[in-house]
Amino acid sequence: MKTIDELLAEGVAGKRVFVRADLNVPLDGTTITDDGRIRAVLPTIAKLAEAGARVVVASHLGRPKGAPDPAFSLAPAAARLGELLGADVAFATDTVGESARATVAGLADGQVAVIENLRFNPGETSKDDAERGAFADRLAELADSYVGDGFGAVHRKHASVFDLPARLPHYAGYLIATEVGVLKKLTTDVQRPYAVVLGGAKVSDKLGVIDHLLERADRILIGGGMAYTFLKAQGHEVGSSLLQEDQIPAVQEYLRRAEEKGVEFVLPVDVVVAPAFPDLKTKAPAHPTTVAADAMPEGQMGLDNGPETNKLYASKLADAATVFWNGPMGVFEHPDFADGTRAVAQALVDSPAFSVVGGGDSAAAVRILGFDENAFGHISTGGGASLEYLEGKTLPGLAALED
């Protein structure tokens, strides 16, 4: 695939460059609580602007239902982008309508504009090729070339990700080039031992990647809500913990295959429990207790790894040469249940391994818990995209950038 450096070499002064970014930041009302995704695309936008391009930035935010919804406006992200660039950023209040056309037409060389949330138009996410294509046609009218740099969306077959690059000269931005380079280190010529840490709520979200990693990883550490389905599959009671009973046969098969292939599956040996899910707004004390993972009492909910599990997981990561981590170990947003996630992050900081934090909640946890992002090998901006890449799937947004 061609890169942004090739586009810059061709010359962009006075040209309109459409940058498909991922500005899908978490919001508390109109306040951005984590601007990591905006900062990740900053090098691409800044470089284009410095070279005199008229930069048109587009993204989705949240899951609006194909119509404008103020709760999902990109206005806060546009404002934050301007602060980070140290320059005014114009904002169009629609995607391909009068405001977008006028805003783009009003750009001078080196200026940046953000158009409104792409998902306010039903054509962005439509499963109908013609409807998606029609929206892509209108987006293409806003630009002379296309730069794909929204890694968090490349696993989606959406108009701005998949269809639009076919209509314009297309290039990969710095972020996508970096992300793909890192993920190749996890799939080809992997330095061993190769350890994978998987957490999060649901086993079903990780089935594909577990299946793929059984052929590649040396050890797989399981935490988060999904751990309780694994514990149940081993015959343990899990109280009122999150459980996907329909996934137990699949989990039992994975455990069997792992033993057959010599892949070490590491599960919690103790867990932190409470009578109910904690209040994440007030952070009120949740009255946690720690119990053995094979002796969870009825009516108690597992919400984090326990201290012995934290020591065990740290020991399993200490000698690794490569680590991929996706998904928190517990309800890290509450102080009573953050230790498991903190322990994994600290183990990666302490380890000499090349460590990749696979986006989503894991990336958010690293920032919320106060870790220096530079202490990790790479923090991905795309949790879902990273997982699908590791599953060996073809990602539409990457395929569209290939020539």
Catalytic residues: 37, 202, 360, 384
Instruction: State the Cα–Cα distance between residues 197 and 396, nearest whole angstrom.
Output: 26
β-strand partners of 17: 55, 145
β-strand partners of 322: 194, 354
**Contact (CB, 8 A) for 88 and 82:** yes
Instruction: State the Cα–Cα distance between residues 171 and 331, nearest whole angstrom.
Output: 39
Largest Cα–Cα distance of the chain, in whole Å?
67
Order of strands, sheet of 145-148, starting from the edge strand that comes earlier in the sequence: 89-92, 112-115, 54-58, 16-20, 145-148, 170-172
Name the helix (H) or strand (E) containing 196: strand 194-198
Which two three-digit tokens encode residue 93? 């209040």
**Contact (CB, 8 A) for 238 and 296:** yes
Is 75 exposed, middle or buried (CB count within 10 Å of its CB: 0-12, 13-18, 19+)? middle
Report strand pairing: 301-305 vs 112-115: unpaired
**DSSP states of 116-170:** --GGGSTTTT-S-HHHHHHHHHHHHTT-SEEEE--GGGTTS--IIIIIGGGGS-E
β-strand partners of 270: 292
Q: Is the peptide bond between 249 and the residue preceding it cis, with omega within 30 degrees of 0?
A: no
Instruction: State the Cα–Cα distance between residues 311 and 354, nearest whole angstrom.
Output: 20
